Amino acid sequence: MRGYNRIFFEMLAATSDHDAPGSGSILEEFVYSLDVFPVEIQRYTSLMRELDGECELLKHKIKELHAQYLQAGIKITEKSKTVGDKEAAMKKLANSSQYEKLTTMRAALSQNIAEKVSISDQLYDMSEQNLNRIRIDITLLESILKKKGQITDYDIPPGTFVAAESKPGEWILATIKDFTSSSSDTFMVQDADDHALYSLPSSRVLVLPIEEPLTSAKHRLSSRGKKVMALYPSTTTFYKGTLAVLPYIGTGLTAGDFSPGSSLCAVQFDGDDLDPKTGSPPKFIVLTCRVFVPIN
């Protein structure tokens, strides 16, 4: 998916010229597929939420009815004097309308769960189909516009900040020394601290924005407790941690070298000593553009 955003916006600009046969209709279909996709996802997820609500209600009713059924069984057996009487009483209870209602509710719960699984499978299949079509449409559009000379292979300018996995599991702050999509899928990056050079595949390099809008930060870092990799204060190394405070706009009064208007968040880093006052790891304010969610 690398480069798709840039290619897409170039395609939008380029296809404003409708001289390329068929390019307008392809673009329209592409944009339409992007418009419909989230609507379909919302429809499926709404169905799943409805089923979740029904399942929770059934579970609550089953729990209550089950408790009543057990209590009735205890009372009946306590009144029975012989083993035969107890067996007859339990047989009668098993044939009661109460047991039948309990069985019916359990069957309804199982059916709702099966429907939810079916809907989730359909959502997965639909997502894969739509993503495959988008990939195909992008490739086709890219081919048409390259022939017209309206887009070229993209590159990432030297000096761009990245998070680079210099060793397995070890991420550092670095800058791009060289990368062009047409020549290879390998980055030449330079450690921001000791200036060591690394040649790394794109899977081990994450381009970092210079700054990040708050809306983007809130979308990426949406819940407290999320596991993240963040740049440890006063270092050029990313460490594992937990998101402790959701993204917000800094005022410039926060401790640290942060400009007013910067998107900030707070992270508790794994392995830090506990704060004796709170009994938990200290919270460090960091720029959201220096925080990412690890894939694994």
Q: What is the DSSP string of the chain?
A: -TTHHHHHHHHHHHTTSTTSTTHHHHHHHHHHHHHHHHHHHHHHHHHHHHHHHHHHHHHHHHHHHHHHHHHHHHHHHHH--SHHHHHHHHHHHHTSHHHHHHHHHHHHHHHHHHHHHHHHHHHHHHHHHHHHHHHHHHHHHHHHHHHTTS----B--TT-EEEEEEETTEEEEEEEEE-BTTT-SEEEEEETTT--EEEEEGGGEEE--SS--HHHHHHHS-STT-EEEEEPTTSSEEEEEEEEEEEEE--S-SSSS--TT-EEEEEEETTPPPPTTTSSPPPEEEEGGGEE----
Q: What is the pLDDT of residue 143?
A: 67
> 57 in a domain, yes or no?
yes
Residue 286 has pLDDT above 50, yes or no: yes
Same domain for 168 and 76, yes or no, is: no
Domain count across the chain: 3
Return the higher-pLDDT residue of 4 and 81. 81
Tell whether 70 and 202 lie within a shared domain.
no
State the pLDDT at residue 9.
46
Q: Whole-prediction pTM value? A: 0.49
Residue 10 pLDDT > 50: no
In a domain, 152, yes or no: no
111 pLDDT higher than 70:
yes
pLDDT tops 70 at residue 285 = yes
Q: Higher-confidence residue: 148 or 177?
A: 177
What pLDDT score does 155 carry? Answer: 66
* Confidence label for 124 from pLDDT (cuts 50, 70 and 90): confident
CATH number of the domain encompassing residue 257: 2.30.30.140
Q: Could you tell me the residue range of the domain that residue 278 belongs to? A: 214-292
Residues 59, 10, single domain; the answer is yes
- Rounded Cα distance between 225 and 233, Å, is 20
Residues 207/220, Cβ–Cβ less than 8 Å = no
pLDDT given at position 43: 86
The answer on 132 and 87 residing in a single domain is yes
What's the chain's average pLDDT? 80
Domain membership flag for residue 154: no
Across 24-38, 157-171, 198-212, 247-261, which has the greatest mean pLDDT?
157-171
